[in-house]
Amino acid sequence: MTDRPPRVLLKLSGEALCSPGGHGYEVAAAAPLLAEIAGAVASGVQLAVVVGAGNIFRGAELARSSVLRDSADRMGMLATLMNGLFLRDLLLGAGTDAVVLSGLRSPETASTFSRQRAVAALEAGQVVICAGGTGHPYFTTDTAAALRALEINADRLLKATKVDGVYSADPAADSNAVRYDEITFETCLRRNLRVLDQAAFALCRDNDLDVVVFDMRESGAIARAARGDAIGTLVHR
């Protein structure tokens, strides 16, 4: 344990930047997210963010066509950089200081990610938006989120979803699905509960990084999850 404020990495879907089922960007639809992030930072949370690119682009789907997987993944990383710039500017416009650090080298667009830059920005009260994936193909944004969380020595990885935690089955399809308050990595593997992709899951499990899966639509959810309050599902070793 340390005396510093809570430090977490928040993994968001790209759909958080548009209306449900939409594509691209919608400033009004992103407003609740901005308020939640601002509230968390105001409460003292040191917050890093990784945003997916599903609102723009799905590399895994394109890779099944004639486009090479390497190219598809790099296109996806560029899309997350676009999302990072959008989120940063919205946060700045709303009065929350933020910076984009990219795993994909693009020096005229954003500074390249390094642990030192990220931690310095967090300690200065900035929201650190980790864009550009890992900078390498064949890794998802889940894996990028787990990697960046470990690099900044985050207390936990927060995965924002549309449901209030991890269930035994898809609650939208199975009315008998059971929600877990907490669950171990081993149980998730045994029951084939796909909390994160396999590479991200292994990084968290092997490095004792707790994961909190929660409903982003709950008021104050980010701050509560960062503090370790009972919210969503805690996945631990």
Reduced to 3 states (helix: H, G, I; strand: E, B; else coil), residue 16 is helix
User: Is residue 172 included in any domain, yes or no?
Assistant: no
User: Is residue 150 included in any domain, yes or no?
Assistant: yes
User: Is residue 197 included in any domain, yes or no?
Assistant: no
Which H helix or E strand runs over 115? helix 115-123
User: Is residue 206 included in any domain, yes or no?
Assistant: no
Contact present, 78 and 21 (Cβ < 8 Å): no
- Residue 101: pLDDT band (50, 70, 90) is very high
pLDDT in tens, 114-171: 999 999 999 999 999 999 999 999 999 999 999 999 999 999 999 999 899 999 988 8
Q: In this structure, how many other beta carbons lie within 10 angstroms of the beta carbon of residue 23?
A: 14
Which H helix or E strand runs over 213? strand 210-215
Q: Could you tell me the CA-to-CA distances from 185 to 195, 196, 204 in Å, in that order?
A: 9, 11, 9
pLDDT at 20: 86
pLDDT in tens, 203-226: 999 999 999 999 988 999 999 999
User: Is residue 65 included in any domain, yes or no?
Assistant: yes
Rounded to whole angstroms, the Cα distance separating 196 from 30 reads 24
pLDDT at 1: 47
pLDDT in tens, 14-37: 999 999 888 999 999 999 999 999
The token pair at 155 is 């207390």
> Which CATH number do you get for residue 35?
3.40.1160.10
User: Is residue 176 included in any domain, yes or no?
Assistant: no
User: Is residue 182 included in any domain, yes or no?
Assistant: no
Contact present, 12 and 51 (Cβ < 8 Å): yes
Q: Give the whole-number percent of the chain exceeding pLDDT 70.
A: 96
Q: Which residue has the tokens 């609650």?
A: 171
Rounded to whole angstroms, the Cα distance separating 113 from 105 reads 9
Q: Give the whole-number percent of the chain exceeding pLDDT 90.
A: 78
User: Is residue 21 included in any domain, yes or no?
Assistant: yes
Rounded to whole angstroms, the Cα distance separating 112 from 90 reads 21
**Number of folded domains that form the chain:** 1
pLDDT at 61: 65
pLDDT at 64: 66
Domain residues for the domain of 25 are 7-162+217-232
pLDDT at 62: 65
pLDDT in tens, 23-72: 999 999 999 999 999 999 999 999 999 999 999 976 556 656 778 888 88
